[in-house]
A and B are shown apart, each in its own frame.
Chain A
């Protein structure tokens, strides 16, 4: 049985800048990294493989350079990595992206579990995991903070974060999980792992290789359209200074917090 981990290469910065002329993202000089949330998905996959056996496959849809993120997955313990790369995939929103990933999972075959990170740090949508589950028609669990596989029937016991607490569920494979960072502490790969990953083959699959309908991928198949991007609204400029006795300062702060309904 295969475990698939879906990963994404993202800009390695927590903040990006916009070109004041073109209003487009400044990407020059910004290093690409493996999406930090995906490390927890990979770690979950590696631990399941270590405990229960199976084959761990990392997949990513992206440009040719996204191969570097897949090599990191190999360094961390993935057995195989596949890059889903095709000019026609460009501009895909989460609908089309999850379609491509779902087609790749179907093509791999014999997949019992798909693990995604919470969300990607560039888009922050958290939509691709449930999207894959919907395309495949498999059950899903998001916000996963604990995960076990039953030895007898292979069913999954997951704990997931909900508003106001956690619930524990049992669900049958095949299933799609989106995991939170609370699930595990990702290991740090070793130099020996990186040296092996540097030499490993990373096959590239296009739309035909995964049997994807070209009419359902890319910008034209994406229901959402970005109509404009811009800087966030400026910080409140009318800052105030309070310089008085502790009791009076506390009273002013109290009224301010109450005014904005913080207390």
Chain B
């Protein structure tokens, strides 16, 4: 244990870094959202915004980062960075942090961000707040105030870690707003390379297995479409699956639908099933018994389609549509571009 959190006195740190992530030649949405967040923080506490981009063949993505708000892109392009090797990337990022001394580092709460950030935070003896949904600068101290949900969203905690720099946070995807891109905006470019001592060689990639899609389950679905007894049978769930495929969502079911044998238990939502908190929750033919509501009430936007205007789900919904899902969903599917 050579690390010591007290060995990091506040020095001349400056800059807001975001960790940009690319997979299969595309930037993750959350990377552009982080740039939006960084720009708003820089407006409160002026300092340059840098995007750190590790990967192989990522050069073509640099202009996108500039256009979305990066003042400078710090790019490391190396075949060894073409897949996520925790130890190499942590060693590289740690060295760059010591070299350039940013005040803030933001990463997406993605698979990579949630693995890399804590490893780096421990190695560099700084704090890390996971899965933030709110970031702001404390006007008095200039500290980064990091707000995150805990206990499954029933509690919000605000955290600061400015005694140890950089202040690090991972940010929940889909929460922060990206900036409107400015076509042709250009920024600085700093190229770095992976040093021999950072090539740890501990891990070996055997195989990459892309998602086939279509698996049952919620994963990180931000749009969940749930059917209840009003879906009348397994065919009703076929309609929901068709709609879910159109919007890139996942299908859920109430206990009544699972007990009737129309849907597998793996997708049951409620007290005796799963608890979900998607961005959008669309309930079709769901009456809204309390045992179901406790499993989805944390959703950001709740939409219900039910012929019974007095059904409990309609009182909870942000958008309550009185009607029949069998009539409305096919119309909606037709409206959405293929």
Inter-chain contact A232/B154, CB cutoff 8 Å: yes
| Known interface pairs A130-B122, A164-B23, A167-B205; A249-B1 also in contact (CB < 8 Å) | no
Inter-chain contact A262/B280, CB cutoff 8 Å: yes
Report the Cα distance A230→B163, complex, angstroms. 23
Inter-chain contact B159/A224, CB cutoff 8 Å: yes
Residues of the B chain whose Cβ atoms lie less than 8 Å from the Cβ of A167: 83-84, 205-209
Inter-chain contact B321/A216, CB cutoff 8 Å: no
Residues of the A chain whose Cβ atoms lie less than 8 Å from the Cβ of B122: 95, 98-99, 130-131, 134-135
Report the Cα distance A122→B161, complex, angstroms. 20
Check B97 for interface membership: any CB of A closer than 8 A: no
| Least CB distance, B248 to chain A, in whole angstroms | 9
Instruction: Tell me which residues from 127 to 149 in chain A have a Cβ below 8 Å from any Cβ of chain B.
Output: 127-131, 133-135, 139-143
Chain A residue nearest to B6 (CB atoms) is A215
Chain A residue nearest to B332 (CB atoms) is A250
Inter-chain contact A246/B301, CB cutoff 8 Å: no
| Least CB distance, A243 to chain B, in whole angstroms | 4
Chain B residue nearest to A16 (CB atoms) is B151
Inter-chain contact A135/B127, CB cutoff 8 Å: no
| Least CB distance, B14 to chain A, in whole angstroms | 19
Chain A residue nearest to B334 (CB atoms) is A250
Binds A, one of B48-56, B227-235, B322-330: B322-330
Report the Cα distance A160→B126, complex, angstroms. 27
Dominant SS among interface residues on chain B: mixed
Check A231 for interface membership: any CB of B closer than 8 A: yes
Residues of the B chain whose Cβ atoms lie less than 8 Å from the Cβ of A141: 86, 203
Interface residue tally of chain A, by bracket? 35 or more
Residues of the B chain whose Cβ atoms lie less than 8 Å from the Cβ of A222: 5, 127
| Least CB distance, B225 to chain A, in whole angstroms | 11
Check B331 for interface membership: any CB of A closer than 8 A: yes
Check B258 for interface membership: any CB of A closer than 8 A: no
Residues of the A chain whose Cβ atoms lie less than 8 Å from the Cβ of B145: 227
Inter-chain contact A134/B336, CB cutoff 8 Å: no
Report the Cα distance A102→B118, complex, angstroms. 14
| Least CB distance, B109 to chain A, in whole angstroms | 9
Residues of the A chain whose Cβ atoms lie less than 8 Å from the Cβ of B156: 229-233
Report the Cα distance A107→B8, complex, angstroms. 27
Inter-chain contact A165/B118, CB cutoff 8 Å: no
Chain B residue nearest to A167 (CB atoms) is B208
Check A253 for interface membership: any CB of B closer than 8 A: yes
| Known interface pairs A15-B154, A134-B122, A165-B210; A240-B319 also in contact (CB < 8 Å) | yes
Report the Cα distance A128→B117, complex, angstroms. 11
Inter-chain contact A122/B203, CB cutoff 8 Å: no
Residues of the A chain whose Cβ atoms lie less than 8 Å from the Cβ of B323: 242-244, 246, 249
Between A102, A213, A233, A257, the greatest number of chain B beta carbons within 10 A of the residue's beta carbon is seen for A257
Instruction: Tell me which residues from 1 to 41 in chain B have a Cβ below 8 Å from any Cβ of chain A.
Output: 1, 3-6, 21, 23-24, 28
Instruction: Tell me which residues from 158 to 179 in chain A have a Cβ below 8 Å from any Cβ of chain B.
Output: 159-172, 178
Interface residue tally of chain B, by bracket? 35 or more
| Least CB distance, B169 to chain A, in whole angstroms | 10
Dominant SS among interface residues on chain A: mixed
Inter-chain contact A168/B209, CB cutoff 8 Å: yes
Query: Which of B86, B128, B321, B331 lies in contact with A127, CB distance below 8 A?
Result: B128
Inter-chain contact A250/B331, CB cutoff 8 Å: yes
Instruction: Tell me which residues from 90 to 141 in chain A have a Cβ below 8 Å from any Cβ of chain B.
Output: 93-95, 98-99, 102-103, 121-131, 133-135, 139-141
Inter-chain contact A140/B321, CB cutoff 8 Å: no
Inter-chain contact A103/B1, CB cutoff 8 Å: yes
Report the Cα distance A163→B83, complex, angstroms. 11
Report the Cα distance A86→B67, complex, angstroms. 52
Chain B residue nearest to A211 (CB atoms) is B1
Inter-chain contact B1/A213, CB cutoff 8 Å: yes
Residues of the B chain whose Cβ atoms lie less than 8 Å from the Cβ of A213: 1
Check B204 for interface membership: any CB of A closer than 8 A: yes
Inter-chain contact B121/A95, CB cutoff 8 Å: yes
Inter-chain contact B155/A18, CB cutoff 8 Å: yes
Between A139, A157, A163, the greatest number of chain B beta carbons within 10 A of the residue's beta carbon is seen for A163
Inter-chain contact A170/B204, CB cutoff 8 Å: yes
Sort A-B residue pairs by CB-CB distance and give the 4 closest, nearest first.
A223-B127, A250-B331, A246-B327, A134-B122
17 pairs across A/B with beta carbons < 8 Å?
A15-B151, A94-B118, A124-B150, A126-B130, A127-B118, A130-B119, A131-B122, A163-B111, A169-B204, A223-B125, A230-B158, A232-B154, A232-B156, A246-B324, A260-B301, A262-B223, A263-B336
Spell out B's residues near A (CB within 8 Å): 1, 3-6, 21, 23-24, 28, 83-84, 86-87, 90, 110-112, 114-123, 125-131, 145, 149-161, 163-164, 200, 202-211, 223, 246-247, 275, 279-280, 294, 298, 301, 303, 305, 309, 314, 317-324, 327-329, 331-332, 334-336
